[in-house]
């Protein structure tokens, strides 16, 4: 449970840091690109291991897909955090809980109890209520595609991580760190390949504030995904994802209100309370 709590805290920090990019005028593309290089190297240095390339073909396919998704979704995280709110970013990404829950229940024949079913339903309802926009602060229609895309792609990457952990027996810290580092390395390669299309000025990669932002985000990013992947080992997917996602949404919403004065409607707050109730219910 300790690993899960750490993962929840670190994922919340990711949204907060991205929101701060706007305040300190950090270039998103440069910082996110540096972040993935730092995240990949962090795993190698912290665990004193080189990248393991001796994976089965299926595992390589998953690593490449998740690496590309990570790269694209992080840009969406930054845009959504800055243009809408960190609360909405967390809500959109964690409402995707429905995707891995459904997949892991049927793919791995996990135990299904009445309390778990009710808890999952309540979680989904609570996330919808937290995602429901305030009429006094409506979201521009042109921006709606951003949280929707975050929802879809985050759900896919979360599911693939669980499939990899179970199917390829990733059951210790070293294996988790090596796989996560490989995914980040592939995300960095994605950034390098797409850089010419974004017409990014090379000098931005060497600006002090962009480098610092990339270093901070990269270290947090690696630790967040590592603890996320490693903490899965002790939980069934249908239990892990509701607890993790609802907790990140709740903590991010509170952080948004306290740190950035983001507002939530009464229905959003009710959704937060309902999510906490659902988490308790699932653990009974």
**CA–CA distance, 254 with 264 (Å, rounded to integer):** 10
What is the predicted pLDDT for the residue at 88? 82
Q: How far is CA 148 from CA 9, 73, 190, 264, in A?
A: 24, 11, 22, 19
Greater pLDDT, 13 or 278: 13
Phi, then psi, of 72 in degrees rounded to 5: -70, -40
Residues 133-152: tens digit of each pLDDT: 666 666 676 777 898 899 89
Q: Which two tokens stand for residue 239?
A: 């239990």
- Summarize pLDDT for 97-120 with one digit per residue, the tens: 778 877 877 787 766 778 778 877
- Please give the helix or strand (H or E) that residue 124 lies within, else none: helix 114-131
Domains of the chain by residue range: 2-108+141-261
pLDDT at 2 over 90: no
The pLDDT score that the predictor gives to residue 131 is: 63
Query: 208-261, pLDDT tens digit by residue?
Result: 999 999 999 999 988 998 888 778 777 776 678 778 877 888 899 889 989 988
Which one has a higher pLDDT value, 187 or 166?
A: 187
Burial of 181 (0-12, 13-18, 19+ CB in 10 A): buried
Q: Where do we find the tokens 């009464």?
A: 266
pTM: 0.81
* Spatial distance between the Cα atoms of 158 and 138, rounded to a whole number of angstroms: 29
Rounded distance, CA 105 to CA 12, Å?
26
- Selection from 72, 52, 62 nearest residue 176 by Cα: 52
DSSP state of 139: P
* CB neighbour list of residue 209: distance below 8 Å, 6 or more residues apart: 24, 25, 26
Report helix angle 114-131 to 237-260, nearest 10. Answer: 30
Contact 103, 160 (CB under 8 A): no
End-to-end CA separation in angstroms for the chain: 15
**How many whole angstroms separate alpha carbon 254 and alpha carbon 13?**
12
pLDDT (tens digit per residue) in 32-73: 999 999 988 887 787 776 666 777 888 899 999 999 999 999
Q: How many helices (H) and strands (E) does the chain have?
A: 11, 0
């Amino acid at each position: 449970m300790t690993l899960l709590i750490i993962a929840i805290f670190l994922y919340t920090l990711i949204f907060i840091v991205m929101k701060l990019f706007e305040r300190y005028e950090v270039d998103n593309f440069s910082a996110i690109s540096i972040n993935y290089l730092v995240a990949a190297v962090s795993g190698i240095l912290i665990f004193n291991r080189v990248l393991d390339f001796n994976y089965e073909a299926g595992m390589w396919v998953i690593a490449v897909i998740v690496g590309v998704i990570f790269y694209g979704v992080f840009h969406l995280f930054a845009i959504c955090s800055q243009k809408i709110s960190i609360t909405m970013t967390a809500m959109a990404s964690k409402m995707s809980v429905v995707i891995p829950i459904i997949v892991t229940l049927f793919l791995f024949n996990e135990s299904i109890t009445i309390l778990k079913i009710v808890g999952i339903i309540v979680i989904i309802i609570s996330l919808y209520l937290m995602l429901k926009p305030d009429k006094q602060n409506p979201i521009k229609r042109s921006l709606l595609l951003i949280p929707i895309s975050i929802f879809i792609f985050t759900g896919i990457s979360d599911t693939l991580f669980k499939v990899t952990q179970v199917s390829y027996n990733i059951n210790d810290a070293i294996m988790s760190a090596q796989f996560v580092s490989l995914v980040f390395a592939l995300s960095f390669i994605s950034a390098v390949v797409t850089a010419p299309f974004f017409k990014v000025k090379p000098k931005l990669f060497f600006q002090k504030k962009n480098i610092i932002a990339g270093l901070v985000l990269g270290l947090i990013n690696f630790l967040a995904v590592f603890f996320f992947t490693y903490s899965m080992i002790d939980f069934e997917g249908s239990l892990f994802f509701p607890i993790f996602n609802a907790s990140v949404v709740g903590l991010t919403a509170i952080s948004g209100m306290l740190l950035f004065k983001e507002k939530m409607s009464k229905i959003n707050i009710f959704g937060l309370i309902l999510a906490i109730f659902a988490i308790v219910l699932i653990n009974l």
